Structure 1
């Protein structure tokens, strides 16, 4: 006859709790930090629940997660401020001719090339002005030809003594008036031709249409905005700092611009920091610009108007406990890391400090020498184990 299995008081307490309320079993195991075999109601004693990674997997298919050892390193201190992204090259394209908008070729978000047609304005009035000026030019040319011929006749008659010098001077003055009127008519037709060309609105350079505040049928008047355009190849982050912090930020060796979007964080580094030499007397702040190296290449989320966080590295640096930013698991306001153990990974909450580049300062929750998962998503899978070093 087999002897009964002897259970420790700890195991008996877990077993009794499972019999009363099976749903509390997982929570109890998480608190104890172990896995146990428990005989559940129905006579089965083969149910097993594991913590820190779910049900144990086999050695063959268990996810192998790379780990890193927590250590101390020189960590540059930084101050961060709220900012916004701004296009270095942007423009508001206004109407230069008056008339109804008859066609829009682009909408907000469209990419355009230099010289591409953006809109067309009713050109009938402008075309009539061109026809009128051409008629005036023809009239002035005929008047000039008549005045020139009259002057030649007067000069010949004056040489023969048939007319006085005053009559010759009068003919010369009439010729000059005719020449001036022809020049005026030529300028008029040039002006009307340019005005006719302004009924076709074109893009001044390659860019992206940001806004189109008009519709087909609206009246375009000189100066009315029709399109807003920006070049996506060059962006900058703009932050307004208190006047007392501007000098330190402007003298920082580098700055970091961090953008949180779509559940992920991207960051760009820059060494081009410019403080505008003018302060706002109402808010007591100064505009500081951080030029970004190729905003378009940073991803589709880097567009003008997005809110970012701008951090300026100060001159000093100190030893701090740091981990790679990719190892952090962020869920709302909670931040944690998966710590490697002999049986898998354990999720542990940590308190983070400042961020510099790809490193994050750890204020509490970890000790030097512990190993953490570099891929927190895979570390949370069932049976995940630290990869062999």
Structure 2
């Protein structure tokens, strides 16, 4: 019985089974040890991984008092300009002015032919004299009781009618004299002596050059910064400048351009500034607190908000929203920076909120080191 149990074939089978079990156990153990080794290597790599640091250039931006200025295209326009027109028909017999003549309001510019006006005045004067004589004679009879008193109103009415006739004749006679409507300079005389004209015909154009207006248009946003009495500087094409004062800001916008008219008065006693000249008007607004930031430093957040990126005390970048209050050629004046701030001026496009940064104070030092990829 014992010999049958320990047959060579059975012993060999048992040994094979044990060897297989040992081989399987050794493989599982080695796999577990390998996984533990891999996990430890990953943890060690995470601990030893270098922190990404972006080198950027910063500039110290300090808010200060800023007087906002904006410039608008404009043209000059005389504050007063008018035309002298004929009030009656006739032929020009005398022309007292020419282009460039200085005139005062009421000065006779031209004279028309009589056309019977003087005769009508003399006839009206004679009639008035007759009516007054009749009135005096009949009034004496009325006062003495020889004529009924009820005739007195008719006599007074006759005198009044004669006076009205004379006044009308004199007014008609005065229409032969064409006078300047305003003080100024004669800019155009479109007629000549001997020319027959009708009522309403233009005899001369008169422009008063003092004061001269600078007329321009501003947008809806800029209109809110304008006030009457503000100082303006008007620059002309020849490079000269003239001080002006804002005297009018329109209340109604142009339907096509949605802009508002603006007028500024300029002293022009010597008539140096002509009418219709192209110019630029720069208006200065009330001073405000704003920070000057390089235009290139402006960025947009992921939400589309305009702002800048600044270097925080913990050597990390953070986003600050700002609003533009004045737009210059090189600098943009913004609101939203209340104190001295290290604004990133180079490399701001390569960092985000919370990124580690190494800040240098000047652009010159950073230009050679700032790259498009973060440094290790």
- Give the TM-score range, shorter chain: 0.5 to 0.7
Q: 1:273 to 1:149 in 2, by over 3 A?
A: closer
CA distance in 2, matches of 1:257, 1:145: 70
The structure 2 residue matched to 1:307, chosen from 267, 275, 278, is 278
- Map residues 345-360 of structure 1 onto 2, 5 A cutoff: 353=329
> Does 2:149 correspond to 1:207?
no
Q: Secondary structure at the match of 2:226?
A: helix
1:387 matched residue in structure 2: none
Given that 1:113 and 1:203 are in contact with CA atoms closer than 8 Å, whether structure 2 keeps it comes out as yes
Find the counterpart in structure 1 of residue 248 from structure 2: 274
Which residue is 1:61 aligned to? Answer: none
Residue equivalent to 1:254:
231
How far apart in 1 are the matches of 2:243 and 2:293? 21
**1:192 pairs with one of 169, 173, 192:** 169
Tell me, in whole angstroms, the C-alpha distance in 2 between the residues paired with 1:319 and 1:269.
Answer: 27
Secondary structure of 1:178's counterpart equals: helix
Question: 2:132 maps to what in 1?
Answer: 141
Q: Paired residue for 1:79, among 49, 70, 77? A: 70
Establish whether residue 295 from structure 1 lines up as the match of residue 295 from structure 2.
Answer: no
Show the 5 A alignment for 1:40-189. Answer: 76-152=67-143, 155-156=145-146, 171-189=148-166
Cα pair 2:93 2:112 within 8 Å, conserved: yes
What does the per-residue CA deviation read over 1:28-61, in whole Å, with 9 as the maximum and x for residues that have no partner? xxxxxxxxxxxxxxxxxxxxxxxxxxxxxxxxxx
After the TM superposition, which residues 7-46 of structure 1 pair with which residues of structure 2 at under 5 Å, given as runs? none
Aligned residues: 232
- Is the Cα contact below 8 Å between 2:90 and 2:198 reproduced in 1? yes
CA distance, structure 2, for counterparts of residue 318 and residue 212 of structure 1: 57
Q: Could you tell me how far apart the structure 1 residues matched to 2:207 and 2:139 are?
A: 55
User: Following superposition of structure 1 onto structure 2, how do residues 312-323 of structure 1 map, counting pairs within 5 Å?
Assistant: 312-314=283-285, 315=287
1:146-183 per-residue CA deviation (whole Å, 9 max, x = no partner) reads 53355356x24xxxxxxxxxxx6xx3333311211112
TM-score by length of 2: 0.53
Q: Distance in 1 between matches of 2:201 and 2:260?
A: 31
Give yes or no for contact 2:216–2:262 (8 Å, CA) kept in 1: yes
The TM-score with structure 1 as length reference comes to: 0.51
* Distance across 2 between alignment mates of 1:252 and 1:200: 41
Contact 1:140–1:185 (CA<8 Å) still a contact in 2? yes
Q: Distance in 2 between matches of 1:213 and 1:236?
A: 26
How far apart in 1 are the matches of 2:149 and 2:116? Answer: 38
Q: Give SS of 2:250's match.
A: strand
SS state at 1:280 partner: coil
Residues 304-362 of structure 1 deviation map (CA, whole Å, 9 limit, x = unaligned): 111211222344577699xxxxxxxxxxxxxxxxxxxxxxxxxxxxxx949xxxxxxxx
* Cα separation, partners in 2 of 1:243 and 1:121, compared to 1, 3 Å: farther
Residues 209, 274 of structure 2: 8 Å contact kept: yes
- Does the aligned pair in 1 maintain the 2:213–2:265 contact within 8 Å? yes
| Secondary structure at the counterpart of residue 158 of structure 2 | helix
What is the CA–CA distance in structure 1 between the aligned matches of 2:230 and 2:291, rounded to whole Å? Answer: 16
Residues 193, 251 of structure 1: alpha-carbon distance in 2 compared, 3 angstrom cutoff: closer
Structure 2 residue runs of 5 or longer lacking an equivalent are 1-63, 295-327, 331-376
CA contact (8 A) 2:82 2:181 kept: no
RMSD: 3.3
Q: Report whether the alignment pairs 1:226 with 2:203.
A: yes
For residue 302 of structure 2, what is the aligned residue in structure 1? none
Q: Is the 8 A contact 1:207 1:231 kept in 2?
A: yes
Quote the residue 1:341 is aligned against.
none
Structure 1 unaligned spans of 5+: 1-72, 157-167, 322-351, 355-389
In our comparison, the structure showing a higher alpha carbon Rg is 2
SS at match of 2:252: strand
> What's the CA shift for 1:134?
1.5
Partner in structure 2 of residue 343 of structure 1:
none
Please report how far the alpha carbon of residue 104 of structure 1 lies from its aligned counterpart in structure 2 after TM superposition.
1.6
Q: For the Cα contact (< 8 Å) 2:92–2:192, is it kept in 1? A: yes
- Give the drift of 1:90: 2.6
Separation (CA, whole Å) in 2 of partners of 1:202 and 1:188: 24
